[in-house]
Amino acid sequence: MKIATAAYPLDWLETWHDYAAKQRAWVAQAAQAGADVLVFPEYGAMELAAQAGAQAAGDLHGSIQAVAARMAQANELHAALAREFGVYILSGSGPVLKGETVVNRAHFFAPGGGMAHQDKQIMTRFEREDWGISGGGPLRVFDTPLGKIAVLICYDSEFPLLARSLVEAGAEVLLVPSCTEAPEGYWRVRIGAMARALEGQCVTVMASLVGQQPRLFAVEENCGAGGVFAPPDRGFPATGVLALGQLDVPGWTYAQIDRAAIADVRADGHVLNMAHWPEQAARLPHIETLPLA
């Protein structure tokens, strides 16, 4: 598959027409470049809040309500774009009301009309302490004609057992949509994504919000880049970097992903991180603490 991953700038889009036109332009550009799968970043859906006005978009709870109220319409748009352009689209995630709780949900659209979603599992301090967003569930693997694809939203990529469960369920590609306001946040997610590619001998795909949009609550400042990462082993670059966008520069980053190369490195790589993972468990109870002066 050819992947397109976004460094996506938030704009102040007061009308549905403006929002729909922007989404269409981004999808069309990637599709015309031959991409099969398009990855938008975490909280990319926060642009929808502008349609509720400045007061709602800049408010702690108003921003959640404004986006959640428009998510169904946004899903219809992305489903139509996936069908029209013949691509898979992971749209920008956003807050969704789930009963009395709020989850951070990314929707995944297939060119044949199918739609599914993945909820973020583990909340950052801001999400849980200030914004009141909860972990959803469960983790899912999407079995597509292009391969088995799963999603770890931002902070989730920093927890190896989540990725391990997806790899054991057959995932070959992990999509990592992210939203980070500073370089250290970008590097935390990028390091996590690269580590998960190493451990699971899979490909990870990072998308980022970029730029400033002071009128949109919680996403006022953003730092990041698109990146596609692989195990640094046979069939892949020695650096583990398949493709990397320029930090804080909007646009698509493209990479070709070869399922056969993933299968080959898992079966006969110079190292076998995926296969040897269970050997850790047998050694954990035997930790010794020794005094040494």
| Containing structural domain, residue 222 | 2-286
Examine residue 291 and state whether it is found in any structural domain, yes or no: no
pLDDT score of 32: 98
One digit per residue, the tens of pLDDT, for the chain of length 293 reads 999 999 999 999 999 999 999 999 999 999 999 999 999 999 999 999 999 999 999 998 999 999 999 999 999 999 999 999 999 999 999 999 999 999 999 999 999 999 999 999 999 999 999 999 999 989 999 999 999 999 999 999 999 999 999 999 999 999 999 999 999 999 999 999 999 999 999 999 999 999 999 999 999 999 999 999 999 999 999 999 999 999 999 999 999 999 999 999 999 999 999 999 999 998 887 888 999 99
Amino acid 274: pLDDT: 98
- Please report whether residue 45 resides in a domain: yes
Residue 63 resides in a domain: yes
Angle subtended at Cα 239 by Cα 238 and Cα 241, rounded to the nearest 5 degrees:
115
Give Cβ neighbours of residue 67 (< 8 Å, ≥ 6 apart): 45, 46, 48, 49, 94, 95
Residues 6 or more apart whose Cβ sits within 8 Å of residue 218: 43, 46, 63, 126, 131
Residue 293 in any domain: the answer is: no
| Nearest alpha-carbon partner for 137 in 162, 108, 173 | 162
The pTM of the full predicted model, rounded to 2 decimals, is: 0.97
Please, are residues 169 and 151 in contact by the beta-carbon 8 Å criterion? no
Residue 206 has what pLDDT? 99
Please, are residues 112 and 88 in contact by the beta-carbon 8 Å criterion?
no
Q: Which residues of 73-87 are buried (b: 16+ CB within 10 A; e: fewer)?
A: ebbebbbbbbeebeb
Nearest alpha-carbon partner for 33 in 229, 254, 215, 198: 254
Q: Can you give the CATH number for the domain in which 222 is found? A: 3.60.110.10
Q: Tell whether 292 is covered by a domain.
A: no
In a domain, 251, yes or no: yes
Q: How many CB atoms lie within 10 A of CB 281?
A: 8
Q: Report how far residue 215's alpha carbon sits from residue 69's, in angstroms, rounded to the nearest whole number.
A: 18
Count up the domains in the chain and report the number. Answer: 1
Is residue 261 in some structural domain?
Answer: yes
User: Tokens 């139509």, residue?
Assistant: 80
Residue 45 CA to residue 218 CA, distance in Å, equals: 12
Q: Is residue 216 situated within a structural domain? A: yes
